[in-house]
A = this chain, B = another copy of it.
Amino acid sequence: MDQISPHALDRLIPPPSTEVCRRVARCRSCQIRPRALFGPLSLPELDEVAPQVPDSTTPPGTVLYSAGERPEAVFILRHGLVKLEQYLPNGTCRIVRLMRPGAVLALETLVSGECDHTAVVVNRADVCRVPLPVVRTVMDKQPSLFPEMLRHWHQLVRQADDWLTHFSLGGVRQRVARFLLSMGGDEIGQTDASVVELPSRDDLGAILGTTKETVSRMVAEFRRDGLLVNLDPHRVRVDRVRLEVIAYADSETP
């Protein structure tokens, strides 16, 4: 797993003006921005911030940051899927969150300095790296960001709590069904909710707190029963109504 290229120089050595122009343009035309941290900013305010915010595209498997690091920045995810993993002292790992476009990664560095999780790119991801000083000065100048900030924290907590109930309670059969339902469509909400992009079996196991073998069996069973049809490898179409019956059945439906 390769580390993300160090951006530390970005604020010390001013980027060439062509790069500044690109960043400003990229920021202005960003589809995600309204839903992300700097949504409430005006265009002029944005043009001021954009030059100090480098962006990068990273392939699957890239480690954006590891638990304990101090990246001195937050990351805004513009495209792709990133998993946050947490390790127990004995080495077992659980994926505690999947971050989708519009999410802010490493928010916790604003509070404690260090990252709580290891963030690994699942799909190819586009991220903007916003240095902490930039976040802080923007927030001082523009208090309207405060509720926006709280909104993101709230979302983190909600997501964590849902994970705890949906993906840790009941049989694996139900948990897989719930996962498929929860991953339908993207957060913009405009793609077909019945098309789901599947992570690897290993990741699915780490999300649902089970093993890759069991997950594999469940998916196979769903496919046999026609609840699930392969589009490509790793993309399936699901039968949401029948999945919902399974996901929240009062007792098992054998």
Partner of A92, one of B88, B90, B170: B170
Residue interface mask A103-128, B partner, CB < 8 A = 1:
00000101110001100000000000
When the two chains form their complex, are residues A154 and B248 in contact, meaning their CB atoms are under 8 A apart? no
Partner of A248, one of B90, B96, B150, B153: B90
Q: Is A194 an interface residue (CB 8 A)?
A: no
When the two chains form their complex, are residues B157 and A108 in contact, meaning their CB atoms are under 8 A apart? yes
- Interface size on A, as a range, is 35 or more
If A111-B147, A149-B150, A154-B111 touch, whether A169 touches B116 (CB-CB below 8 Å) is no
Chain B residue with minimal CB distance to A89?
A: B248
Docked pose: A24 CA to B154 CA in angstroms: 31
When the two chains form their complex, are residues A161 and B88 in contact, meaning their CB atoms are under 8 A apart? no
Give the copy number. Answer: 2
When the two chains form their complex, are residues B250 and A112 in contact, meaning their CB atoms are under 8 A apart? no
CB-CB under 8 A from A212, the residues of chain B are: none
Q: Is A52 an interface residue (CB 8 A)?
A: no
Chain B residue with minimal CB distance to A92?
A: B169
CB-CB under 8 A from A168, the residues of chain B are: 94, 164, 168, 209
When the two chains form their complex, are residues A116 and B248 in contact, meaning their CB atoms are under 8 A apart? no
Docked pose: A163 CA to B116 CA in angstroms: 14
Residue interface mask A64-106, B partner, CB < 8 A = 1:
0000000000000000000000111111101011000000000
CB-CB under 8 A from A112, the residues of chain B are: 154
Query: A interface vs B, CB < 8 Å?
Result: 86-92, 94, 96-97, 108, 110-112, 116-117, 146-147, 149-151, 153-154, 156-158, 160-161, 163-166, 168-170, 209, 248-250
